[in-house]
Amino acid sequence: MIFTFTFDFGGRTALVTDADAATMRTLSLALSRSGTRVALFGRERAAETARELCASGGEAEAFDVDYRDDDAIGKTMDSVLARFGKIDLLFNGAYVVVPVDKRKRLHEFDMELYEEILAQYYHGLYRVTKAAVRDMAKRGEGAVVNIISIRGMVPVPGQTPAVAASAAAVGFTRMWGVELKETGVRVNAVAAGLAADEHASGDRQPLSHLAVPRATKPEDIAAAAMFLASDEASYITGTILPVDGGFQAGYARSF
Amino acid sequence: MKKHGNRNDDVRTMFTGMYGYGKEYQPARADLGGRVALITGTAGMIGFAAAKRLAQSGCAIAAWDLCEDSGEAKAREIADATGGNVVFYKVDVTDRQAITDAVARVIADFGKIDVLFCNAGGNWGNRKPVYEFDDELFRRNERVNLTGSVVWLCREVIPHMIRQGKGSIIITSSVCGVTGLRNQCGFVGSKFAVSALTRSMALEYARDNIRVNCIAPGSTPRPEDKLNPLWDTVDFENFEKNFSNPENLLYDIPIPRPAEPDDMAGLVQYFASDDAAYTTGQVVCVDGGWTAGFSGNY
């Protein structure tokens, strides 16, 4: 992981959710290296990342949270604030994709999986943001970056809850970006493109149709997210930045 | 065209001759004879107008609403006005079993469902930014507008449409499902989601000859909505002034009048008809140009 840029987030505290995901782990490492204290929401991998950051001189702690339990989210947010005192930057890991073998059309879709995905990526996104922004608004500054799926802008078949939650996140980003103007909080999103392991084998190679014909890397997303959270982006709010190899820009197949 | 801005004019006649407002409608008629339409939220303005229009076009109507008294009355009103076959069903779309049962009853009563208009919904909120938004109301927007009204209902109806080899699904979203408006995050999230599901469902069911389209209504405040907190910035005493006062939200709407339910009914009828046979996955704003851009002199 080599970034050619550096940001100085010295003294700030970031909360990174869904930190078991590879992209959010990469982002956590980059944040720590930029002087940020990092709270991570996640399970084993998040705890491992936190240990790694502490071992390399950073300050980090992982918190296990059950996104299906609204009260648990609130309590965990309280623990984060008790531990770090404040949250300056919130990176919502709201990237969701339905596993290839679970992709079904709406009338055949597994409704338990539907509810699970909505609990974490729709209601969880709202709950975590609500608590973090309450703290930011008190201090009159802060930045939220939602890391979402490009499927919220370019709907795909077979993934009802992922499309719904990602599109809702697009809506949240745009409206939170404008409604928080009195608070000094900016809200933006990075819409991440297609990852390498998300295609059924024998599929028509969706990646070959991208303008940049490769899968999205965690570094692509982390870099954009850090920019949007930084003071360089102080005039940017309510935007969705697609980092997707051109997926949403247009139709890249030849006719 | 009459000049607007005269406070003595009645709102309903003010714009007579402008953009079709205030004059007798000459609605386009589609021939939907022999078809069956299931419409939810028929006690509401948009559901009622759409049900009436489809009944006029020859559809038999299965009219669903949560509200029994007004739902029953509105269904009778449509039947009396059109001579059509309109049957009312009291259904709560947040009750999954109730949806399953009611769809079975519609199939038993009518034998098929050609048109599904997922229209039941609402905007619940306390008009606060996200960090003070009411959690219970946030959840209700999602349960009703997204999961109940669209996901659960479509799951029940689509297998019948596949069996029939044809179908048209129309979903009610909102301008809030296309752009971000402040202080109503429960509504915005649920409506962005259904706008997107319109497109993914269109992709999923095109080969089954099922089309899925979406209407995104704009502002619909009218004098009888005076107490609705959603429109707390609207000046109902001098209604036309809302469109000439740059301080007011409604000033941003290029066509200077509130949306009429019939504005929606025409589009619903089009999506339901064979004229739209090649149109699917579309979200169309019926909003007087509101979301086209900013209408101020920037």
Residue the block writes with tokens 């190899």: A245
pLDDT in tens, A153-172: 999 999 999 999 999 999 99
Q: Which residues of A touch B200 (CB under 8 A)?
A: 155-160, 163
The partner residues of B215 in beta bridges, in order of sequence, read: B172, B284
Residue B235: pLDDT band by 50, 70, 90 thresholds? confident
My answer on whether B78 and B132 are in the same domain is: yes
Mean pLDDT of chain A: 91
My answer on whether B108 and B131 are in the same domain is: yes
My answer on whether B74 and B172 are in the same domain is: yes
Q: Given an 8 Å threshold on Cβ–Cβ distance, is A176 in contact with B185?
A: yes
Q: Bigger pLDDT: A104 or A5?
A: A104
Nearest CB among A163, A180, A183 relative to B196 is that of: A163
Residue B26: pLDDT band by 50, 70, 90 thresholds? low
Q: How many domains does chain A have?
A: 1
Q: Which residues of A touch B138 (CB under 8 A)?
A: 123, 126
Angle between helices B45-56 and B68-82 in degrees, nearest 10 = 30
| Average pLDDT estimate for B252-269 | 88
pLDDT in tens, B168-216: 999 999 999 999 888 899 999 999 999 999 999 999 999 999 999 999 9
Least confident of A80-94, B59-73, B242-256: B242-256
DSSP state of B238: T
A146: closest CA of chain B, how far (Å): 14
Report pLDDT for A70.
80
Q: Is A248 inside a domain boundary?
A: no
My answer on whether B254 and B265 are in the same domain is: no
Report pLDDT for B9.
43
Least confident of A207-221, B152-166, B218-232: B218-232
Using CA atoms, how far apart are residues A221 and A23, in angstroms rounded to an integer? 7
User: Three-state SS for A213?
Assistant: coil
Q: Is B46 inside a domain boundary?
A: yes
Angstrom distances, CA of residue B248 to CA of A178, A191, B125: 17, 33, 21
CB–CB of B215/B268 below 8 Å?
yes
Report pLDDT for A4.
65
Report pLDDT for B8.
38
Best CA proximity match to B215, nearest among B10, B9, B58, B53: B53
Q: Which domain holds residue B130?
A: 31-218+261-286
Q: Is A249 inside a domain boundary?
A: no
Best CA proximity match to B43, nearest among B67, B24, B11, B21: B67
Q: Which residues of B touch A137 (CB under 8 A)?
A: 129, 131
Q: How many domains does chain B have?
A: 2
Q: Is A7 inside a domain boundary?
A: no
Mean pLDDT of chain B: 88
Using CA atoms, how far apart are residues B150 and B143, in angstroms rounded to an integer? 10
How many A/B residue pairs have CB atoms within 8 Å? 129
CB–CB of B188/B181 below 8 Å?
yes
My answer on whether B77 and B173 are in the same domain is: yes
Please report the DSSP string for A237-255 in residue order. Answer: -S-EEEESTTTTTS--S--
pLDDT higher than 80, residue B5:
no
Q: Which domain holds residue A127?
A: 13-243
CATH for B168? 3.40.50.720
Q: What is the 3-state secondary structure (H, E, C) of B98-166?
A: HHHHHHHHHHHHHCCCCEEEECCCCCCCCCCCHHHCCHHHHHHHHHHHHHHHHHHHHHHHHHHHHHHCC
- Nearest C-alpha in B relative to A115: B147
My answer on whether B181 and B101 are in the same domain is: yes
Best CA proximity match to B42, nearest among B70, B8, B4, B10: B70
Sheet holding B167-172, edge to edge: B86-90, B60-65, B36-40, B115-118, B167-172, B210-217, B283-286
Name the burial class of residue B7, with classes exposed (0-12), middle (13-18) and buried (19+) by CB atoms within 10 angstroms of its CB: exposed
Token code pair at residue B174: 């909102």
Question: Residues of chain A with pLDDT > 90: what percent?
Answer: 76
Buried-state track B29-45, b at ≥16 Cβ within 10 A, e below 16: ebebeebbbbbbbbbbb
My answer on whether B86 and B163 are in the same domain is: yes
Q: Which residues of B touch A150 (CB under 8 A)?
A: none
Question: Residues of chain B with pLDDT > 70: what percent?
Answer: 86
Q: Is B129 inside a domain boundary?
A: yes
My answer on whether B104 and B236 are in the same domain is: no
Q: Is B10 inside a domain boundary?
A: no
Please report the DSSP string for A15-29 in residue order. Answer: EESSTTSHHHHHHHH
Residues with Cβ within 8 Å of residue A25, at least 6 apart in sequence: A19, A45, A46, A49, A218
Phi, psi dihedrals of residue B285, rounded to the nearest 5°: -80, 130
Q: Given an 8 Å threshold on Cβ–Cβ distance, is B154 in contact with A107?
A: yes
Nearest CB among A109, A155, A175 relative to B199 is that of: A155
Using CA atoms, how far apart are residues A103 and B153, in angstroms rounded to an integer? 19
Q: Given an 8 Å threshold on Cβ–Cβ distance, is A155 in contact with B196?
A: yes
pLDDT in tens, B103-161: 999 999 999 999 999 999 999 988 899 999 999 999 999 999 999 999 999 999 999 99
My answer on whether B133 and B246 are in the same domain is: no
Best CA proximity match to A16, nearest among A6, A3, A29: A29
Best CA proximity match to A70, nearest among A156, A130, A20: A130
Q: Is B138 inside a domain boundary?
A: yes
Least confident of A148-152, A165-169, A245-249, B166-170: A245-249
My answer on whether B120 and B213 are in the same domain is: yes
What size, in residues, is chain A?
255
Name the burial class of residue A112, with classes exposed (0-12), middle (13-18) and buried (19+) by CB atoms within 10 angstroms of its CB: exposed
Using CA atoms, how far apart are residues B10 and B257, in angstroms rounded to an integer? 12
Nearest CB among A106, A169, A175 relative to B151 is that of: A106
Report pLDDT for B6.
38
Report pLDDT for A1.
55
Q: Is B11 inside a domain boundary?
A: no
Q: At CA A23, angle to CA A247 and CA A41, rounded to 5?
A: 130
* DSSP E strand stretches across chain B: 36-40, 60-65, 86-90, 115-118, 167-172, 210-217, 283-286
User: Three-state SS for B27?
Assistant: coil
Best probe of the A interface among B128, B130, B156, B280, by most A CBs < 10 A, is B130
Using CA atoms, how far apart are residues A92 and B55, in angstroms rounded to an integer? 47
- Beta strands A240-243 and A185-192, pairing class: parallel
Q: Is B291 inside a domain boundary?
A: no
pLDDT higher than 70, residue A201:
no
- Nearest C-alpha in B relative to A151: B196
Report pLDDT for B84.
95
My answer on whether B176 and B236 are in the same domain is: no
| Average pLDDT estimate for A218-234 | 95
My answer on whether B61 and B175 are in the same domain is: yes
Q: Is B45 inside a domain boundary?
A: yes
Token code pair at residue A143: 């930045």
Report pLDDT for B87.
98
